[in-house]
Chain A
Amino acid sequence: MTTAIKMNLKYALTAIFLAVFAIFTASASPQDTAKKSDKFDAGKLIIEHISDSHEWHVTGEGENTIALPLPVILYTDKGLEFFCSCNFKHDEATYQGKNYSYKLNEKNQVEVVGANNEVDEAATAKVIDFSITKNVASLFFSAALLLIIFLSVAGSYKKNAGKAPSGLQGFFEPIIIFIRDDIAKQSIGPKYERFMPYLLTVFFFIWFGNLLGMIPLLPGGANLTGNIAVTAVLAVLTFIITTINANKNYWHHVIAMPGVPKPVLLILTPIEIMGVFLRPFVLMIRLFANITAGHIIALSFFCLIFIFGEMNKGLGLGIGVFAVAFNVFMGLLELLVALIQAYVFTLLSAIYFGAALEEPHHHDESIV
């Protein structure tokens, strides 16, 4: 009986949560469209949600916006600028900094405004934006979360030395062992140990980032692991580690695949050299595309409600039921994708490390 009540409570909570989320999106769009155009622009809304921003939006639009203001840090040719993003409250607002006047453009980028309120393209090009944007703040948050969790897990290992794992430790231990035994040991071989810290950090960073991205409210909601800059840094790190650790055999395989006739090498070598760079590139694109696609699907289905709602309120409500049901299903799928993408990135990184360390086989030598 208690389980039935619990289940009902769970459904009720889910329904309330979804309704609240729907209302956020609902309150976001109509006012927005009222100002600029009559039509609800789903594409713009979706892009805004998955892109970076100078503030951490919570709810509301225009004057009613409730958002966490974030610091703007600009590196200009005249020195550093440091101010609050709350100065850009209105779309048209300009902020008079130490060196220039700034405003945000349509794409949420900081632009330098000249004396006659015209955008100064030359000065804008020299501005480098080091702002703590929504994604940077989310990055700090997930890093802090990882630190708190894993330092406490490490603490309980010290405390429970020689005893069975308990609590968080018990939850993460099988995952850590899985990464060690089924990813690192399998793909890298006996020298797996020196790559373990990177693989573990990458796995949990991506997984936590993915999961935080699925939470629609403040600590989450940023599209961190679906941002190309973040995935690019991770992919470049994998590339650097692979290249640093690569042995003679690896380069031999890249430059002149043993046992392959010379004419074929003319085709194969360029492909192999391209492959060296293509592998991390694909790592970057895969994570970015998968996570961003998940966000886009969820947002698209919520947008459907308002597209149909514009035609007819009843139709919008009817579609809403299906959209919410579908998004619940997609949400469950995305939970899985969050884990799978973390696993795939970690596994492929481990495979590349393994390839870089691979020793020549005996039959290869005999052919050479």
Chain B
Amino acid sequence: MELVKPAIGLVFWMVITFGALFFILAKFAWKPILGMLSEREKTIADSLAEAQKARAEMAALTSKNQDLLNQAKEERNKILHEAKEAADKLKNEMLAKAQQEVEAKIQTAFREIDIQKKAAITEVKNSVGLLALDIAEKVIRKDLKGNAEQLEYVNKLAKESNLN
């Protein structure tokens, strides 16, 4: 059957035409087209990768900033804390010092009082001695009569005398 018998002429022209078509298209069409396509794909892939990298860098930068901020905050807290501690210490020291001074003053006052008291007592003792001598003199002067009467008299004299 003619339909399934390849004609030599057509085979000849087909080989020549298709061959020429193939070489021209391969060199002047497919090569630049495929080259441009892969180049564009590479550019897109590169840009995407770059964007990804930039985003990662940005994130790293943000976290770094956060870290810095946190660090600063910590430092501030630390400084504040230290300052407060120092102030407290100073205050306590000052309070203690004041207390000490006050105590010292009280001590001095007590000592003073003691000294005064002793002096006063000595004076009283002296006065009492004198008084006793005075009373004894008066008793003796009033004649030594009854015991009871004498005692009453002593008491009376003692009441009359000013102890202070």
Residues of A within 8 A of B (CB): 47, 50-52, 73, 107, 128-133, 135-136, 139-140, 143, 146-147, 150-151, 153-154, 157-158, 161-162, 173, 176-177, 180, 193, 196-198, 200-201, 205, 227-230, 232-234, 237, 288, 292
The contact size tier of chain B is 20 to 34
From A154, A176, A232, residue with most partner B Cβ within 10 Å: A154
Evaluate whether A197 and B10 lie within 8 angstroms (CB atoms) in the complex, with A51-B3, A107-B2, A228-B5 already known.
no
Q: Which of A128, A139, A200 contacts B13 (CB 8 A)?
A: A139
B37 & A177 in contact (Cβ 8 Å cutoff): yes
* Bound CA–CA A198/B26 (angstroms): 8
B6 at the interface (CB under 8 A from A): yes
- Collect the chain B residues with CB atoms within 8 Å of residue A177's CB: 37
The 9 closest A-B pairs by CB, nearest first: A197-B26, A229-B6, A229-B10, A150-B29, A157-B36, A233-B14, A154-B29, A136-B13, A197-B30
Instruction: Select from chain A the residue with minimum beta-carbon distance to B7.
Output: A229
- Collect the chain B residues with CB atoms within 8 Å of residue A133's CB: 7, 9-10
* Bound CA–CA A47/B36 (angstroms): 46
Evaluate whether A197 and B9 lie within 8 angstroms (CB atoms) in the complex, with A47-B3, A162-B40, A229-B14 already known.
no
28 A-B pairs (CB sep. < 8 Å)? A51-B2, A52-B10, A128-B9, A133-B9, A135-B10, A139-B13, A139-B18, A147-B24, A150-B33, A153-B29, A154-B29, A154-B32, A157-B32, A162-B40, A180-B34, A197-B22, A197-B25, A198-B22, A200-B25, A201-B22, A205-B18, A228-B4, A228-B5, A228-B6, A230-B10, A232-B6, A232-B11, A288-B4
Query: Chain B nearest CB: distance from A180 CB in Å?
Result: 7
A161 & B9 in contact (Cβ 8 Å cutoff): no
Mostly helix, strand, loop or mixed at chain B's interface? helix
* Bound CA–CA A326/B145 (angstroms): 178
* Bound CA–CA A158/B33 (angstroms): 8
* Bound CA–CA A140/B7 (angstroms): 16
- Collect the chain A residues with CB atoms within 8 Å of residue B7's CB: 52, 129, 133, 227, 229
